[in-house]
């Protein structure tokens, strides 16, 4: 499912001779309910052939009155009311990694590159995992805080089974497509890519295979598909030989990479293309749709998925998103060797196998209990409500050991009690493509406790990450503290969880506070009640 626009790439003036504009601005399938909705009842038949009569999507801009007028709090109600929220699952984390790199360089990330769901999904959640294939569905929440009025946060957490042990997974056949254009000469780009591939060469098994493609103005195969057994030295020699030169022809690299992946495809293995690039395309063919079709056909016909690894202080976030979306993969971002080890040692080998294809989630809110709701993030992953059980509509691909979190701001009706929402996840078995579903529910009792100082430290981390992302992209959520106060919450959570990643989040928030509000920071952050932006 195509997601991003070309805002970031246009800002930095990098052109792909028309192809990038077509790629990023065209073919974007973004349908479904709006960010803020009013709630009503409807029924689905629970079968795999689609729901009964689905409500009309909410009007753009929020929840809406029957007469179509804006309420005094600036929100609208849909007519007819919309009680559903539907989106494709997403395990990307590149937005958070790139924001961290930008703040480390004493800059604020461009708001167009900030996606709250990728901030949230960068942290451990501690969800229970299912015993077999598929998902567990975990739903909880808390009041949004003293400044949140009658708003609460509801967390929908999905988890797959734990990743298999190194020796238990199927073999892998990986085609690495490496950007060696002139921009990759900057420290932290090609040098980091080479270090990452050296690390991975040590981690892969003897029965795994790799091929290596490089691209600048043209693409070149440095290594055809080669079994690692007895060939690690040869592979390292090819990696070490890469040098930055010339311009960035992503189209040539992607085409050659998929040619090599198909030529070297290993039956029974997890065949995957791994694109390592700053994704700052500036030359190549103009037929962007042909590139996407090449990726799509390799996925459909041969199950070859695409994993994107972004690098560099300037990074073509939108382009990498588009390519990996079409390739049923996901993106991450590495800024240093520590992150490279996390990606290439802890994550990539364990997550090569898929648990679920075309996975979607739908949350149905209870009209009698919920007055308004908003999904935080996932704007680029929304799916039309009526397409939840349409298995021809693309969803997200999720591997073992993954978690996916969706956070909602929910405004309860005065005196409401009882059922709040039912969350359903639907996915296809990667091998048989048989559909499966799992559900979880939440009641008012489960979201009535305080957020800060509550029992769930991981829920507090989730809220901190979401509040921070929303602030960076210029919005504000109900109950959101100012950056100074949010940094203090993060520091406290880092000590309580003994989690180094939460400590780094606290440092990022403190740095953003100084950059936005001066050396002393602001530390407050009054939020008009119900203001969702």
pLDDT digits (tens, 9 = 90+) for 307-354: 999 998 888 888 888 888 888 788 999 999 999 988 988 888 877 888
Q: Where does the pLDDT of residue 522 fall: very low under 50, low under 70, confident under 90, or very high at 90 and above?
A: low
8 Å CB contact between 470 and 448: no
Longest dimension (CA), the chain: 73
What are the pLDDT digits (tens) for 138-194? 999 999 977 767 899 999 999 999 988 878 888 999 999 999 999 999 888 999 999
The CA R_g of the chain, rounded to the nearest whole Å, is: 23
Q: Where does the pLDDT of residue 81 fall: very low under 50, low under 70, confident under 90, or very high at 90 and above?
A: low
Give the pLDDT confidence score for residue 521 in this predicted structure: 57
* Rounded-to-integer distance, Cα 326 and Cα 315, Å: 19
User: Can you tell me the mean pLDDT for 40-60?
Assistant: 33
More confident residue, 303 or 220: 220
Integer CA distances (angstroms), 325 to 179, 291, 381, in order = 19, 13, 10
Rounded to the nearest integer, the mean pLDDT of the chain is 82
Predicted model pTM: 0.81
Strand partners, 137: 158
State CA 520 to chain mean position distance: 33
Q: Where does the pLDDT of residue 297 fall: very low under 50, low under 70, confident under 90, or very high at 90 and above?
A: confident
pLDDT over threshold 70, residue 284: no
Q: Which of the residue ranges 185-194, 219-228, 357-366, 522-531 would you say has the lowest mean pLDDT?
A: 522-531
Q: Return the DSSP state at 364.
A: E
> To which H or E segment does residue 375 belong?
strand 370-375
Q: How many CB atoms lie within 10 A of CB 366?
A: 22
CA angle 456, 462, 468 (to 5 degrees): 135
pLDDT over threshold 70, residue 59: no
pLDDT over threshold 60, residue 24: no
Cα distance from N-terminal residue to C-terminal residue, the chain: 26
- Could you give phi then psi for residue 149, rounded to 5 degrees? 60, -125
Query: Among the residues of 154-287, which ranges form H helices?
Result: 190-203, 232-240, 250-263
User: Can you tell me the mean pLDDT for 292-301?
Assistant: 78
Task: Tell which residue, 20, 3, 23, 1, has the closest CA to residue 12.
Answer: 20
pLDDT over threshold 60, residue 40: no
Give the pLDDT confidence score for residue 155 in this predicted structure: 98
pLDDT-above-90 percentage for the chain:
61
More confident residue, 56 or 409: 409
Q: Tell me the torsion sign for CA atoms 135, 140, 145, 147.
A: positive
More confident residue, 366 or 524: 366
Q: Where does the pLDDT of residue 71 fall: very low under 50, low under 70, confident under 90, or very high at 90 and above?
A: very low
pLDDT over threshold 60, residue 48: no
User: Can you tell me the mean pLDDT for 188-211?
Assistant: 93
CA angle 307, 313, 316 (to 5 degrees): 45
Q: Return the DSSP state at 446.
A: G
Give the pLDDT confidence score for residue 313 in this predicted structure: 87
pLDDT-above-70 percentage for the chain:
80
Counting Cα atoms < 13 Å in the Cβ hemisphere of 414 gives 0
Q: Where does the pLDDT of residue 61 fall: very low under 50, low under 70, confident under 90, or very high at 90 and above?
A: very low
Q: 460 in helix, strand or coil?
A: helix
Give the pLDDT confidence score for residue 168 in this predicted structure: 85
* Rounded-to-integer distance, Cα 297 and Cα 326, Å: 10
Q: 11 in helix, strand or coil?
A: helix
More confident residue, 512 or 13: 512
What are the pLDDT digits (tens) for 403-455? 999 999 999 999 999 999 999 999 999 889 999 999 999 999 999 999 999 99
Give the pLDDT confidence score for residue 38 in this predicted structure: 40
Give the pLDDT confidence score for residue 280 in this predicted structure: 84
pLDDT over threshold 50, residue 75: no
Phi-psi region of 281 (alpha: psi -120 to 50; beta: other; left: phi over 0): beta
Q: 352 in helix, strand or coil?
A: coil
Total residue length of the chain: 533
């Amino acid at each position: 499912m195509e997601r991003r626009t070309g805002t970031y790439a246009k800002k930095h003036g990098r052109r792909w001779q028309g192809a990038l504009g077509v790629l990023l601005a065209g073919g974007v399938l973004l349908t479904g309910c709006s960010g803020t909705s009013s709630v009503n009842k409807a029924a689905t038949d629970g079968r795999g052939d689609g729901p009964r009569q689905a409500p009309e999507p909410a009007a753009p801009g929020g929840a809406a009155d029957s007469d179509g007028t804006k309420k005094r709090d600036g929100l609208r109600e849909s007519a007819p009311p919309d009680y559903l929220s539907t989106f494709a699952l997403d395990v990307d984390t590149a937005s958070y990694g790139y924001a961290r790199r930008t703040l480390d360089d004493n800059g604020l990330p461009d708001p167009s590159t900030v996606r709250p769901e990728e901030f949230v999904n960068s942290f451990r959640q501690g969800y229970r995992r299912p015993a077999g294939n598929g998902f567990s569905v975990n739903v909880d929440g808390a009041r949004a805080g003293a400044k949140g009025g009658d708003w609460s946060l509801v967390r929908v957490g999905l988890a797959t089974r734990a990743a298999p042990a190194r020796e238990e997974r199927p073999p892998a056949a990986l085609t690495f497509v490496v950007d060696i254009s002139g921009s990759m000469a900057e420290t932290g780009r090609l040098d980091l890519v080479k270090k990452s591939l050296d690390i991975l060469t040590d981690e892969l098994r003897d029965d795994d295979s790799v091929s290596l493609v490089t691209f600048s103005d043209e693409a070149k195969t440095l290594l055809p598909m080669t079994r690692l057994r007895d060939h690690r030295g040869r592979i390292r020699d090819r990696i070490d030989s890469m040098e930055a030169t010339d311009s960035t022809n992503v189209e040539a690299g992607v085409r050659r990479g998929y040619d090599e992946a198909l030529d070297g495809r290993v039956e029974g293995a997890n065949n995957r293309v791994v694109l390592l690039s700053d994704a700052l395309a500036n030359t190549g063919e103009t037929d962007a749709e042909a590139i996407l079709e090449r990726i799509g056909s390799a996925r459909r016909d041969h199950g070859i998925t695409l994993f994107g690894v972004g690098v560099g202080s300037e990074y073509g976030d939108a382009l990498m998103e588009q390519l990996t979306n079409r390739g049923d993969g996901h993106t991450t971002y590495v800024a240093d060797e520590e992150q490279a080890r996390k990606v290439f040692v802890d994550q990539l080998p364990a997550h090569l196998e898929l648990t679920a294809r075309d996975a979607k989630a739908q949350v149905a809110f209870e009209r009698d209990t919920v007055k308004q709701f908003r999904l935080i993030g996932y704007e680029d992953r929304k799916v039309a409500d009526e397409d939840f059980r349409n298995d021809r509509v693309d969803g997200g691909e999720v591997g073992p050991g993954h978690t996916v979190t969706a956070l909602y701001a929910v405004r309860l009706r005065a005196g409401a009690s009882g059922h709040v929402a039912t969350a359903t996840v639907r996915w296809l078995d990667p091998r048989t493509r048989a559909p499966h579903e799992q559900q979880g529910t939440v009641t008012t009792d489960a979201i009535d406790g305080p957020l800060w100082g509550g029992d769930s430290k991981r829920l507090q981390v989730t809220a901190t990450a979401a509040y921070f992302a929303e602030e960076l992209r210029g919005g504000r959520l109900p109950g959101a503290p100012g950056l100074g106060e949010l940094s203090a919450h993060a520091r406290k959570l880092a000590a309580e969880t003994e989690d180094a990643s939460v400590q780094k989040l606290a440092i990022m928030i403190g740095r953003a506070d100084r950059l936005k509000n001066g050396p002393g920071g602001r530390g407050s952050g009054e939020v008009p009640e119900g203001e969702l932006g």
